[in-house]
Amino acid sequence: DIVMTQTPLSLPVTPGEPASISCRSSESLLHTDDGDTYLDWYFQKPGQSPQLLIYTLSYRASGVPDRFSGSGTGTAFTLNISRVEAEDFGLYYCMQRIDFPYTFGQGTKLENK
Amino acid sequence: QVQLVQSGAEVKKPGASVRLSCKASGYIFITYGVSWLRQAPGQGPEWMGWISAYSGDRQYAQKFLGRMTVTTDISTSTAYMELRSLTSDDTGTYFCARDSGATGLTWGQGTPVIVSS
């Protein structure tokens, strides 16, 4: 199975400041046939289901504000929030879906500093 | 808009089975797959299995092989997941998700499952 490693596990941020979360995979998530990198980012608030933020490395899901952006290479990925807003506090997960079983990072808790 | 509405909470005894449903709307059901995932209390999500609504092809995580079955009913745009031989370790919230190879997972609201004697 592909192992996903997220850092940091906890990230205190002051609203209005930027935030950055890293994720690494044990194998490349770059699909050589189509050139896409199958790495997604999900956001979860307590008591809610995870919601898709970024898919296929860098594409924002419908309705996701443009302060969120995803980037990376085949095994190293970053989720950036340009200016954190109050509604952004919660858990962030990276997930690979280049191969079954899909696997997740441990999660990063974005907290109000 | 895309919606996946899951069945209600379940309480089961150890050794029992549970069958959960997931009714999809807002998209053409057979053009996507459905993944099933779960989340134990205080833990991150765990992917369990997937089914193509078009072909019926299935994939399961190794730990659920032989204990889990995923199916679909195209006539009602509903996916089902059965998990057998439940133990307390199966307690958690179970999610279905529309699975697009191109655009990631769109999750249902989740079904809590409690396994307790």
State phi, psi for B88 to the nearest 5 degrees: -60, -25
Work out whether the CA dihedral B14, A50, B28, A30 comes out positive or negative.
negative
Do the beta carbons of residue A41 and residue A93 sit within 8 Å? yes
Query: A100–B106: do the CB atoms touch at under 8 Å?
Result: no
Work out whether the CA dihedral A101, A90, A53, B90 comes out positive or negative.
positive
Give the pLDDT confidence score for residue B100 in this predicted structure: 85
Mean pLDDT of the residues in chain B: 97
Give me the mean pLDDT over the B80-107 stretch.
Answer: 96
pLDDT tier, A90 (very low <50, low <70, confident <90, very high otherwise) = very high
Nearest to B107 among A50, A56, A106 (CB): A50
Cβ of residue B36 closer than 8 Å to a chain A Cβ: no
Query: B44–A107: do the CB atoms touch at under 8 Å?
Result: yes
How many CB atoms are located within 10 Å of the residue B55 CB?
9
Q: How far is B37 from chain A (nearest CA, A)?
A: 10
Cβ of residue B55 closer than 8 Å to a chain A Cβ: no
Give the pLDDT confidence score for residue B45 in this predicted structure: 98
Percent over 90 (pLDDT), chain B: 97
